[in-house]
Amino acid sequence: MNDVIIIGGGPAGVAAGVYAARKQMKTVFIADQIGGQSVVSDGIANWIGDQLLSGVELAKKLEEHLKSYADDLEIVVPGHCEAVTQNADGSFHIITNKGAFDAKTVIATTGGRHRTLNVPGEEQLNGKGVAYCATCDAPFFKGKDVAVVGGGNSGLESVEDLLPYANKIYLLARRDELRGDPITQKKVLDSDQVEVLYKTNTLEIAGEAMVTGLRYEDLASGEHKNLSVQGVFVEIGSVPNSEFLSDLVVLNDRREVVVDHRTFATSVPGVFAAGDVTDELYKQNNIAVGDAIKATLSAYEYVKKMV
């Protein structure tokens, strides 16, 4: 019987892995990959201890730190957790694509993923003009007209990534103002290439083989309007990867795992969670690390009390 199974390979999962190893807990670490959501980031300037590093560099550091404890941990990467159930004796049964595991405690650090618009055309045209990573895919839209949906930081940064390539960039915001850092807002608003459309609701992405347009509602007038674009970048926040826990622990209306913010215990004793998968207010790498350490120390105390 394992003491703990850690599910998820971002900063939170790695922090939990390091602490569990140092507490000599019998640990299984399972993740699709190590690195977390920041892997796509070109430059991270707020990871404490590093003035600037790329998402890939951060991933590398996390992986090296975790693997320095390879003798003390069972690392299952790439591996994917499908479900967690509770055994009759109170321990947990974890079903993965790499077999099943049993453990006294679970720490869920599965983070979040891109929120999708959920409008007609989005799924069919994914990779055919609909994109979720401007940093990666901007060069494909050289000289083309594109739309970015989302008036927050990630939407603004996508516009920045597209500026050197795209011809015209429509930025669709839901509110009558942009959120996001003032410094990025200014750069975006100052560009002749950018047209910001406020108070909009995206209705449909049009196209057969490739994206040809976007239909939206002008919320001020109620009118439906069409944009002729060859690319649509969706940047409307994230959703927690909490599905595998939904039958076990309490989630809030955003599908985030509800935790006690002192112990990072969930509604089920023995199950802990940390980072972006939880109802933590601030979705940040540094915070995910701290939360995960609290969760791990709580799991350690929980296991100690069992004997």
CB of 31 to other proteins, least distance (A): 11
Q: Which is nearer to other proteins, 44 or 203 (CB)?
A: 44
Contact 45, 70 (CB under 8 A): no
Task: Examine residue 128 and tell whether it contacts other proteins (CB under 8 A).
Answer: yes
Q: Is 40 in the site for other proteins (CB under 8 A)?
A: yes
160 touches other proteins by CB under 8 A:
no
85, exposed or middle or buried, with CB in 10 Å at 0-12, 13-18, 19+?
exposed
For the CB of residue 100, give the shortest distance to other proteins in the complex, in Å: 19
Q: Does residue 142 bind other proteins (CB under 8 A)?
A: yes
139 Cβ partners below 8 Å, 6+ apart?
165
Pick out residues in 58-117 that bind other proteins (CB under 8 A): 59-60, 78
Considering the complex, what minimum distance in angstroms separates the CB of residue 144 from other proteins? 10
Find the binder of other proteins among 70, 133, 189, 306 (CB under 8 A).
Answer: 133
Q: How far is Cα 147 from Cα 206, in angstroms, rounded to an integer?
A: 12
Q: Which of residues 257-286 bind other proteins (CB under 8 A)?
A: none
Could you tell me which of 81, 77, 69 has the C-alpha nearest to residue 17?
69
Count the Cβ atoms, other than its own, within 10 Å of residue 182: 8
User: Which one among 45, 48, 209, 307 touches other proteins, defined by CB under 8 A?
Assistant: 209
- The residue among 42 and 181 lying less far from other proteins, judged by its C-beta, is 42
56 binds other proteins (CB under 8 A): yes
Q: Would you give the binding string for other proteins spanning residues 225-264, x where CB under 8 A is met?
A: ------x---------------------------------
CB of 127 to other proteins, least distance (A): 4
The distance of closest approach from Cβ of residue 77 to other proteins in the complex, given in angstroms and rounded to an integer, is 9
Q: List phi, psi (to 5°) of 100.
A: -105, 150
Q: What is the CA 24 to chain-centroid distance, rounded?
A: 29
Name the maximum alpha-carbon separation found in the chain: 67
Q: By CB under 8 A, tell whether 33 contacts other proteins.
A: yes
Q: Are strands 145-149 and 231-234 parallel, antiparallel or unpaired?
A: parallel
For other proteins, the closer CB: 55 or 112: 55
Classify residue 111 as exposed, middle or buried by CB count within 10 Å of its CB (0-12, 13-18, 19+).
buried
Nearer to other proteins among residue 53 and residue 249 (C-beta) = 53
Q: Check if the beta carbon of residue 16 is closer than 8 Å to that of residue 27.
A: no
- Shortest gap between Cβ of 23 and other proteins (angstroms)? 29
Residue 35 as a binder of other proteins (CB under 8 A): the answer is yes
Residue closer to other proteins (CB basis): 3 or 161: 161
- Only one of the segments 48-56, 82-90, 99-107, 266-274 lies at the binding site for other proteins (rule: CB under 8 A); that segment is 48-56
Instruction: Show the tokens assigned to 306.
Output: 């069992």
Q: Does the CA dihedral 31-36-37-43 come out positive or negative?
A: negative
Inter-residue contact 195 to 168 (CB < 8 Å):
yes
Nearer to other proteins, 126 or 284 (CB): 126
How long, in residues, is the chain?
307
Cα 193 to its chain centre, rounded Å, is 29
The strand pairing partners of 108, in sequence order, are 7, 273
- Which residues here bind other proteins, judged by CB under 8 A? 33, 35, 39-42, 54-56, 59-60, 78, 127-129, 131, 133, 135-140, 142, 161, 209-210, 231
